[in-house]
Amino acid sequence: MNDVSCKACVGAWPRPDHFIADCGVTRAYLHDDQFFPGWTVLVLKRHVAELFHLSRDERSDLIEDVSAVAAVLAKEWRAVKINYELLGNQLPHIHWHLIPRLPQDPAPLEPVWRITHEPIQLPPDTLDSMIERLRKVWPAPMNQRDAMRTPISP
């Protein structure tokens, strides 16, 4: 990462103790607020503010990371739906919010940003346990996924 004025680049956000895994072109973190269990943030490893600033291959790799992580979150939390959020107004560094929406969701038709709630900060032991649980089922980083693909015979 390479912009000294960017909280994501200097490691001030997300919190380092919320790190789950390297996913390829992104790094995954459990979001600070777990009111929506499993809320995860994927942060692009290099400083870029807009999708159109990425090459076609980088955009493709990014969406592969997003998709692979979303599949894990959907399975682990038995999500009814995954919400995908890429905003950047407050932090102009590409990062995706992946939010499992569960059957007991208090407002299933509303975006998470509109649901008034007290943020849920997990105690350290619960946070560590959740991160460890995710690491056991986490997809391989993108470069490893590419190496594991079986070539198609002509």
Peptide bond into 154 cis (omega under 30): no
> Model confidence over 14-62: pLDDT tens digits?
999 999 999 999 999 999 999 999 999 999 999 999 999 999 999 999 9
Which pLDDT belongs to residue 139? 80
* H-type alpha helices, the chain: 56-77, 124-137, 142-148
CA distance 23 to 69: 8
pTM score, whole prediction: 0.90
Which pLDDT belongs to residue 154? 40
- Please, which residues have CB within 8 angstroms of residue 109's CB and are 6 or more apart in sequence? none
- Please, which residues have CB within 8 angstroms of residue 134's CB and are 6 or more apart in sequence? 20, 21, 30, 72, 76
CATH number, span 16-142: 3.30.428.10
Comparing 118 with 141, the larger pLDDT belongs to: 118
> Model confidence over 98-108: pLDDT tens digits?
999 999 999 99
Looking at the chain, the whole-number percentage of residues with pLDDT higher than 70 is 91
As a whole number, the mean pLDDT across the chain is: 91
